[in-house]
Amino acid sequence: MPRPRCERCQRPLDHCLCPLIPSLDSRTRVALLQHPSETDHALNTARLAALGLVNAELRVGEVFADLAELLAKPGYRPVLLFPGEQAQALAAYDETDDRPFMLIVPDGTWRKARKLLYMNPLLEALPRVTLAEVAPSRYRLRKAPEPGAVSTIEAVAQALNVLEQPASFDELLRPFEALIEGQIKAMGVDVFERNHGCSSSTPPRS
């Protein structure tokens, strides 16, 4: 039987991350579009990002039928956070920017994200933005597919930090960091057991 899960963060109840999830407001609206294959991934960072931001939403699917409606939301300029030849590096908003971005963030592996664009021509047609300088990922477990690749929640936090400086959205990463630390600890015990050939209840022999 599967372990009971928290309905909000989807983690097992005894590892619920909700106390660490902030409630941050932003001028920028963040719309995370998740490929269904990512939903069950142990680190569903798009979900954590959507939960931690007041002005954000997460949609799961392959073809998004109501995309036109989403992109037409008044008061925002929709842009796609995805690399491309014409992609503009994100910079801080200035006084001439009357409308903040609606940051559309495809979530999934590069292959799945590209497929989302292919399946949704409206996404393909959006102006693209990228992070000019990508801070190294704290995501040490899953090998980054390309240099500079970061998890979805890190990409969102970095994008908002750039756009809305001097505001900081680092707090968004708290549940993610706890998740990573937890996995490293779990992996450490496992590696320890393998190396010592004994159960974790047996003290290590020096």
Sheet of 56-60: strand order equals 56-60, 29-34, 101-107, 77-81, 128-130, 88-89
C-alpha span between 155 and 46 (Å, rounded): 10
If one asks whether residue 103 binds Zn ion (CB under 5 A), the answer comes out as: no
Q: Nearest residue by C-beta to Zn ion? A: 6
Whose Cβ is closer to Zn ion: residue 12's or residue 127's?
A: 12
When the beta carbons of 50 and 117 are compared against Zn ion, the nearer one is: 50
Q: Could you give the 3-state DSSP secondary structure of residue 79?
A: strand
The single residue listed with the structure tokens 């047996």 is: 202
Q: Give the range of 6-14, 38-46, 94-102, 128-136 binding Zn ion by CB under 5 A.
A: 6-14
Helix (H) or strand (E) holding 58: strand 56-60
Which residue's CB is nearer to Zn ion, number 9 or number 155? 9
Yes or no: say if 35 and 108 are a contact pair by the CB < 8 Å rule: yes
Report the 10 Å Cβ neighbour count for 23: 9
Least distance from C-beta 164 to Zn ion, angstroms? 26
- The count of residues interacting with Zn ion (CB under 5 A) is 5
6 near Zn ion, judged by CB under 5 A: yes
Q: Applying CB under 5 A, which part among 7-15, 103-111, 129-137, 197-205 lies near Zn ion?
A: 7-15
Whichever of 122 and 178 has its CB closer to Zn ion, that residue is 178
Residues within window 9-38 making contact with Zn ion, judged by CB under 5 A:
9, 16, 18
* Residue the block writes with tokens 């990512």: 38
The CB-of-9 to Zn ion minimum distance in angstroms stands at: 3
| The only residue of 8, 15, 140, 185 in contact with Zn ion, by rule CB under 5 A | 8
> Dihedral sign, CA of 131, 172, 63, 123?
negative
Q: Which residues bind Zn ion (CB under 5 A)?
A: 6, 8-9, 16, 18
